[in-house]
Structure 1
């Protein structure tokens, strides 16, 4: 193989594409991305075609200039990918993407394969909800980072009902929210990363702090990894998958959802694991052997989110002071505009002690702030 003669095409040019491209460049591969935003984050390290994710012509152009295709976002034109897969490798496959795009179908596939999931029911009429509360209503398509999800505890919450094709799930009493990165290559070889614990920002409903490893018993950790592996096998997936799970208060381990790409819960792997999730992604795309998923050091990851009320050109406050703390690794994605709760970067903190890493992370959260050049007192947005 000659990496310099091989081009990876990525639908999407956000932070996931950027970090994947950085690993591809280390190995000598070329990368080209398709993204509607000029000067997207990945364009800092890759060539860019400016175009929408549903624009079949631009997708075909990307394919013509690439040896393999992948994506860093699920909301792409799957029909165009179905046409391309006959001539060009698409990883993960359009078939897997189609299952994952529709969360109800995803749940049905997992349940049929014996993967534990919360109780769920398709909603054909909103009138059905009256007899089902308390439940969680979820949009079948398009939801992410807390969007497309509403908790309906009683009829008083009905004004929040989603008026889109949806389904409901049981309102699980959650002890911890967990995640696992699973990698599977074309030959069926698999690597599973350590179980991590996710703590969410209650206001933005975005990942606020991630702990690696999760503070759970070894037996539960092994069960979680086995379930995550089973879930990816059930999809027939090849690539990198982020598997999110609930540890319920009654002891059940339940799969919440799966992302067919590198995942926010795997960013810590860049500094803390033998092989990062992004390098694994490139290895799968190019037919190279999988690397070790071993955790080399405890780690904590925090997202750098746009501060409430701030918009426009980002200003990163406390960067110099934050980097004075040992074991701190800052990743700024290069987005040109900030707004409330937007993911602008992340920070990984490594330490031989998870407790010390948590302490450092808490200090960093009080130091590092992403503000904008403009302040508007209200409203809440969250977007990638």
Structure 2
């Protein structure tokens, strides 16, 4: 197998930053393509090409200088990446996987064909007809471009139809959700697969953005094992091009069914807890996988809760409650180095660990009260 020394990343945000921080010690060099000068990854040792991660010329330049290309965001130029892969450039996961992930309808169709449990969905442009088939409420999702809760509408009544998306969408049934859960799965080029413990996710309803992640999820062991098995099946369904780490987001319905919602082909917000809670973080695991190295152990060392530090207001970041939060035992603060605050922008996260899961949650709620990133 080709010896990989220099890793190229399309996108230089917080996910790339944490990949660099976690694996520089393994001897890798990093080159990121990102439009923001001194992007978060560049601040911690990655070299940077300034430009759009959709620019075909800049992507080609990146490919010339690295041994493998990966991503910290999936909304990239897959047409150019497919061309480069055909020319022998090592890209992991394969851009063919990204083509599927980028189109949520294609994603659902692949999962359905593989027999993966998913919500009932329709490729239906007539929303009145969709309402007749699915009933109210139902969910409308943009096929392309949705991110951090954007591109999703819950249609509760005929009145909501006037504000619905007009094109580039599909619809699916609204699930009566008991919990939203997720499982990280890593796959190497040799086919080795490692599965992480199940997490439960809580969302900020104001922006429909993941706000808290708790591991282990507070569900029955049998359900947790079932969720891990389904996540394994998802990666198998994606095929041999699925190399790296993948987050499989799922619904646990009030009836006790587990249904796959979406797949993220990269390190994911639901896996940040692994930095302080697991033997191998998701970021090291991803780099191990794309570099063709043996995968690391995924055991949970200690109950962990992750809370996002979401921007409040707009302007230059000011952190309130930093020292008070750090004075609490088991609190680990991870800041992303972003120079501008925007409402609900992810400015960092905090991992809280404790042997007692109830104390983890209690401490996390205290941190949420006192720690804030505001713009001025």
Q: Map Cα deviations across residues 247-297 of structure 1 (whole Å, 9 max, x no partner).
A: 000111000000000000000001110100000011012111000000010
Which secondary structure state, in structure 2, belongs to the residue aligned with residue 290 of structure 1? coil
Q: Give the drift of 1:206.
A: 1.1
Choose 58-67 or 232-241, whichever is displaced more.
232-241
Unaligned segments of structure 1, at least 5 residues: 374-384
Matched, 1:270 2:275: yes
Tell me how far 1:123 sits from its aligned partner.
2.1
SS at match of 1:312: coil
Residue in structure 1 matched with residue 193 of structure 2 by the alignment: 190
Superposed displacement of residue 217, structure 1: 0.3
1:13 has 2:12 as partner: yes
Structure 1 residue 285 corresponds to structure 2 residue 290? yes
For 2:125 and 2:208, the matched residues in 1 are separated by 27
Q: Secondary structure at the match of 2:41?
A: helix
- 2:352/2:360 contact within 8 Å kept: yes
- The structural deviation recorded for 1:130 is 4.7
Seen in structure 2, the aligned counterparts of structure 1 residues 2 and 330 have a Cα distance that, compared at 3 Å, is: farther
Residue 124 (1) aligns with residue 125 (2): yes
Count of residue pairs brought into register by the alignment:
370
Correspondence for 2:181: 178
Aligned to 2:262: 257
Following superposition, the deviation at residue 212 of structure 1 comes to: 0.4
Q: Determine helix, strand or coil for the equivalent of 2:63.
A: helix
Residues 99-153 of structure 1: CA distance to partner in whole angstroms, max 9, x if unpaired? 0000000000001001000000002344534534321000000001111000001
C-alpha separation between the residues in 1 aligned to 2:314 and 2:300?
Answer: 37
Contact 1:24 1:30 in 2 (8 A): no
**Is the Cα–Cα contact under 8 Å of residues 211 and 300 in structure 1 kept in the other structure?**
yes
- Distance in 2 separating the partners of 1:2 and 1:205: 42
Give a deviation string over 1:140-170, Cα, whole Å, max 9, x none. Answer: 0000111100000111111320123111110
Structure 2: runs of 5+ lacking an equivalent: none
Partner of 1:44: 43
Residue in structure 1 matching 2:330, options 323, 327, 330? 327
Equivalent residue, structure 2, for 1:82: 82
**Residues 190 and 292 in structure 2, CA contact (< 8 A), matched pair in contact too:** no
Distance 1:149 1:40 in 2: 28
Structure 2 equivalent of residue 381 of structure 1: none
- Aligned counterparts of 2:120 and 2:140: Cα–Cα separation in 1: 12
Q: Cα RMSD (Å) of the superposition?
A: 1.4
Q: Which residue of 1 aligns with 2:96?
A: 95
| Deviates most, 334-343 or 155-164 | 155-164
Are the equivalent residues in 2 in contact too, given 1:123–1:165 (CA < 8 A)? no
Q: Cα offset for 1:363?
A: 0.4
Q: Is the 8 A contact 1:330 1:346 kept in 2?
A: yes
SS at match of 1:240: strand
**Is residue 2:356 matched to residue 1:353?**
yes
Alignment partners' CA distance in 1, 2:325 and 2:23: 29
1:161–1:324 distance in 2 versus 1, CA, 3 Å = same
Shift of 1:20: 0.6
1:154 corresponds in structure 2 to 157
Residues 127, 161 of structure 2: 8 Å contact kept: no
The answer to whether structure 1 residue 57 and structure 2 residue 57 are counterparts is: yes
Moved over 6 A (4+): none
- Give the match's secondary structure for 1:26: helix
Q: Secondary structure at the match of 1:261?
A: coil
Q: Deviation digits for residues 158-192 of structure 1, max 9, x if unmatched?
A: 13201231111101000000011000111111100
Deviations 1:27-62 (A, max 9, x none): 110000001111111111211111112100000000
Q: Which string of whole-angstrom CA distances, capped at 9 and with x for unpartnered residues, describes residues 217-243 of structure 1?
A: 000000000001101110111110011
The structural deviation recorded for 1:6 is 1.3
- Which residue does 2:148 correspond to in 1? 145
Asked if the contact 1:304/1:345 (under 8 Å) is kept, the reply is yes
* Conserved 8 A contact 2:33-2:48: yes
Equivalence for 1:378: none
> Please, what TM-score do these two structures have when normalized by structure 2?
0.96
Change (3 A) 1:229 1:2: closer
